[in-house]
Amino acid sequence: MTLALDTAAQDLLFREAHTANAFTDEPVSEEQIQAVYDLIKLAPTAFNQSPLRIVLVRSAEARERLVSHMAEGNRAKTAAAPLVAILAADNEFHEELPTLFPHFPQAKDVFFSERAAREQAAAANATLQAGYFILGIRAAGLAAGPMTGFDFAGVQKEFLDDDHTPLMVVNIGKPGADAFHPRSPRLSFDQAVTTV
């Protein structure tokens, strides 16, 4: 065994998991999302800044508003998914930093007094957390369907505010019939990794 992670977990998170384009009707509970969050919140971000914010789109009315901002090819599946989450970066994460990074509370002012620096850090670190979130959804035995095909300005205006930048929309549920495209090729180790 080269990896310490057991094979069943490797399969659940990576080998047998696929981006889903269709889902069963089985609901996704608040408890499931809370368990996912309580796991993935532990994974690291720079200065523990934790800028990921999640909007769970549960009501029919909100779902309809979201679907209208999705790209044509993403509408039907976003309308039908048991749960849809908008992942966003909080550009004002520094307000929480003295609590989140107590051993250097000055970080808020030393590194993040400028909005441009915050936007850059929030986008990078919330995207890192989006990676944890996608694997966390799989850890709950669910499939994720992450999408960037939507009107970002429209979603921001409709569901967020000037301080929160949308990153992606994720359909969540148990995969339904014909949920998966065949897996496309990946770059080999030698194509992606070099040694110096």
What is the footprint of its own copies within residues 103-122 (CB under 8 A)?
A: 103
How many CB atoms are located within 10 Å of the residue 117 CB? 12
Burial of 43 (0-12, 13-18, 19+ CB in 10 A): middle
How far is the CA of 11 from the CAs of 5, 6, 16, 18, 168, in angstroms? 10, 9, 5, 11, 25
> Under the criterion CB under 8 A, does residue 13 sit at the interface with its own copies?
yes
Using only C-alpha atoms, the chain has a radius of gyration, in whole angstroms, of: 18
> Under the criterion CB under 8 A, does residue 42 sit at the interface with its own copies?
yes
* Dist CA 96 CA 140 (whole Å): 28
80 is written with which tokens?
């039908």
Q: Which of 57, 70, 107, 172 binds its own copies (CB under 8 A)?
A: 57
* Dist CA 34 CA 49 (whole Å): 20
Identify residue 97 by its one-letter amino acid code: L
Q: Which of 21, 23, 28, 55 binds its own copies (CB under 8 A)?
A: 55
Taking the complex as a whole, the smallest distance from the CB of residue 177 to its own copies amounts, in Å, to 19
* Dist CA 43 CA 30 (whole Å): 21
> Under the criterion CB under 8 A, does residue 22 sit at the interface with its own copies?
no
Q: Which of 25, 59, 72, 116 binds its own copies (CB under 8 A)?
A: 59
> Under the criterion CB under 8 A, does residue 5 sit at the interface with its own copies?
yes
Site for its own copies in 71-90 (CB under 8 A): none
> Under the criterion CB under 8 A, does residue 54 sit at the interface with its own copies?
yes
- Closer of 115 and 181 to its own copies (Cβ): 181
Binding-site size, its own copies (CB under 8 A): 79
Q: Tell me which residue has tokens 């384009």.
A: 21
Taking the complex as a whole, the smallest distance from the CB of residue 189 to its own copies amounts, in Å, to 5
102 is written with which tokens?
């107590």
Site for its own copies in 121-180 (CB under 8 A): 123-124, 127-132, 134-135, 138-141, 144, 146, 148, 159, 167
Taking the complex as a whole, the smallest distance from the CB of residue 162 to its own copies amounts, in Å, to 16
Taking the complex as a whole, the smallest distance from the CB of residue 113 to its own copies amounts, in Å, to 17
